[in-house]
Structure 1
Amino acid sequence: MKFGVRKPSIKKSFKVRTTGKAKRAMKKAVIPGYGKKGMGWVNNPKKATYNKVYNKTSFSIFSLFKKLFK
């Protein structure tokens, strides 16, 4: 488990920004629960628990910049 600052990944952040709106819309049309809040707990509770703890115990370096310059 990671505690503290997360290491940024250029590759992953580029992938997130370029994954299209059309792709998400198509998945939402085909998969009934896609994009709904809380579906992680239904599909994979172990992974959802891990992600919840991970997101509460680690933070991005970019979030520090946002707080400093706000």
Structure 2
Amino acid sequence: MKIGIRKPSPRKSISARTTGRAKRAIKRKVIPGYGRKGMGWLRDPKRAAYNAVYRRTTVGLGDVFKMFK
């Protein structure tokens, strides 16, 4: 488990920002429960627990810049 500052990945950052609205709309129609809050715990509890801890124990560059504002 990583604790501390995350290493930024420009490729993943661009990918996250450019995933289209249409793609998400199609997934919502096709996959039951897609995009609903808490579905990760039902689908894969081990992964959801890991992600919950990871989100609380690491910081990114955006979080570092927010601390200085």
Deviation at 1:67, TM superposition (A): 2.8
Deviation at 1:63, TM superposition (A): 1.2
Q: RMSD in angstroms over aligned alpha carbons?
A: 0.8
Partner of 2:59: 59
Q: Equivalent residues in 2 for 1:24-63 (5 A)?
A: 24-63=24-63
1:37-59, CA deviations, whole angstroms, 9 ceiling, x for partnerless residues? 00000000000000001111101
The total of aligned residue pairs comes to 69
Query: In the aligned structure 1, how far is the partner of 2:67 from the partner of 2:56?
Result: 17
1:18-51, CA deviations, whole angstroms, 9 ceiling, x for partnerless residues? 1100000000011110000000000000000000
Partner of 1:16: 16
Deviation at 1:62, TM superposition (A): 1.5
Q: Identity over aligned residues, as a percent? A: 57
